[in-house]
Amino acid sequence: MELTNTQDESLWMEGLDIVRKLEASGHRAYLVGGCVRDRLLGRALHDIDIATSATPDEVIALYARTLPTGLKHGTVTVMEGGRSYEVTTFRQEFGFTDSRRPDQVAFVQDVREDLARRDFTFNAMAFGSAGEIVDPFGGQDALRAGVVDCVGEASERFGEDALRMLRAIRFASELDFMILPEVWQGIIEHRPKLSLVAMERVSAEWDKMIAGSGPEQACHYLFKSGLLVHVKDTLPETFRQAAERYRFNGMPAEWDKWGMDFTDDGSMGNLMQLPSISDPDLRWAALLSGMGVNEEDSSDLCRALRFSARRVARISGLVGMNEQLKLNEEDELWESWVLTVLARGRSLAEDWLAMSEALETEFWTEAKQWLEEMPVVAISDLKVRGNELSAYLGKAPGPWITEVLKDLLEWVAFGEVPNEKQALLKAAENACDEAGGTDE
């Protein structure tokens, strides 16, 4: 959740209070990293990180409430004013044999040495208590130019930590920045190393991109870079093929119809429309549907990304719902819509409508009205229960009850039988008589 301007200012000033307390005890300290970047850009602050010459033991001794969250790497979480602040000792890092984490760290006394280990120039700035900005690598220049630039050699930075390649794309898409050619070349050079990064880490970055302010730009960079071919877990073939087609040929023609044009092929795919959807899960569903990824493969992709079971079902369900609907001609849409809603449920139907409305499709207005007019959507909406059917028909309870209730649900949904108990019981009796009885 983004902070208000008042909350931003309070968070910033409390961070500076921690800096001043460290300085009063004879240590050097600065606000560092993302908070400095976002402050200069006028963006909302999400957290405050502090770098200091004080050792973890000295930080712990100075504050009443602390958590030893990363002592090995010099990090202590300080609890002040009901908020948490990560305070980390100035350090250098050595050896990245797993292309993810340093094998060794060494505490240092100069903030510039600490900034030199960071990924991008706009993340390698420090802000002091007197208002001075320590910016040895041109982070402010990068912000003014709107570019993603690495501290030192991009190849070296990505070789140290392969996750930084995804972070470069996330920052570029979120800030609407350009990735410098040498940074892009570093990504291309080191992309095979992404296989060394845990899928949970990949998922977190990718999910932030889809949820962020520039999902279409993020997808463009992801597909064009070929990074996704190299993730640790193999992604579904239909997704890989679609991403590779984009990589080599640009936007496929069939992706240029977000409107779910059911009179044609019903495809969705113009990446430029993604920001119009506010819900990240709906963005995922729209993207996958537009790429031609089916329901089963969408489910497999979401599971590979370690999404929760609820998110997997929601995203893949929306893809499947779109598949069901686009197979029908326009004059069959009402019937198809009703059957799809009965099969998928009201919640997913409402999600589909929200996605369709954001994409400004024609069909969503009719579908919304049809949903409002449906007398029933689920078996629980029927004015009869299974035990009442069993008693009325003189049949022992069994699987037949579920089948009869499904039939009743469909008849009521299409207006063939009113949703009244006696009418439903009579309809069930007639159906059983026509079928020659109901198997128990």
Summarize pLDDT for 259-276 with one digit per residue, the tens: 333 333 333 346 788 999
Instruction: Note the pLDDT of residue 310.
Output: 98
Model confidence band, residue 285 (pLDDT cutoffs 50, 70, 90): very high
Q: Residue 282 and residue 280: Cα distance in Å, rounded?
A: 5
Range in 98-102, 230-234, 305-309 with the lowest mean pLDDT: 98-102
Query: In DSSP terms, which residues pair with 79 in a beta bridge?
Result: 84
When pLDDT is averaged across residues 172-197 and rounded to a whole number, the result is 96
Nearest to 76 by CA among 115, 29, 133, 24: 29
Model confidence band, residue 251 (pLDDT cutoffs 50, 70, 90): low
Task: Give tens-digit pLDDT for 105-125.
Answer: 888 999 999 999 999 999 999
DSSP code of residue 230 = G
440 or 7, greater pLDDT = 7
**Helix orientation angle between 199-211 and 215-225, rounded to the nearest 10 degrees:** 140
When pLDDT is averaged across residues 306-327 and rounded to a whole number, the result is 93
Domain over 380-434 is classified CATH 3.30.420.140: no
Nearest to 30 by CA among 136, 128, 135, 137: 128
Q: Give the fold, CATH level 3, of 146-226.
A: Hydrophobic Seed Protein (1.10.110)
Model confidence band, residue 428 (pLDDT cutoffs 50, 70, 90): very high
Residue 181 has pLDDT above 70, yes or no: yes
Residue 305 has pLDDT above 50, yes or no: yes
Characterise 176 by phi-psi region: left (phi > 0), alpha (psi -120 to 50), beta (else): left
Six token digits for residue 377: 């959507």
Residue 328 has pLDDT above 70, yes or no: no
Strand pairing class (66-70; 49-52)? unpaired
Instruction: Note the pLDDT of residue 266.
Output: 36
CA distances from residue 291 to 245, 283, 288 in whole angstroms, order as listed: 10, 12, 5
Q: Give the fold, CATH level 3, of 1-137.
A: Beta Polymerase; domain 2 (3.30.460)
- Please name the amino acid found at residue 129: S
Instruction: Note the pLDDT of residue 153.
Output: 95
The torsion of the CA quartet 67, 70, 72, 73, rounded to 10 degrees, works out to -130
Instruction: Note the pLDDT of residue 268.
Output: 39
**Contact (Cβ atoms closer than 8 angstroms) between residue 381 and residue 424:** no
Strand pairing class (29-32; 91-94)? unpaired
Residues 6+ positions from 25 with CB-CB distance below 8 Å: 54, 58, 62
Q: Please state the domain extents for the chain.
A: 1-137, 146-226, 247-374, 380-434
| Mean pLDDT value across the chain | 89
Instruction: Note the pLDDT of residue 325.
Output: 86
**Contact (Cβ atoms closer than 8 angstroms) between residue 213 and residue 174:** yes
When pLDDT is averaged across residues 293-320 and rounded to a whole number, the result is 97
437 or 279, greater pLDDT = 279
Q: Residue 47 and residue 8: Cα distance in Å, rounded?
A: 9
Helix residue spans in 25-118 (DSSP H): 34-41, 56-62, 111-115
69 or 350, greater pLDDT = 350
Residue 391 has pLDDT above 90, yes or no: yes
Q: Residue 150 and residue 34: Cα distance in Å, rounded?
A: 14
Residues 6+ positions from 99 with CB-CB distance below 8 Å: 159, 160, 161, 162, 193, 196, 197
DSSP code of residue 392 = H
Six token digits for residue 103: 């094998």
Instruction: Note the pLDDT of residue 360.
Output: 81
CB atoms within 10 A of CB 186: 23
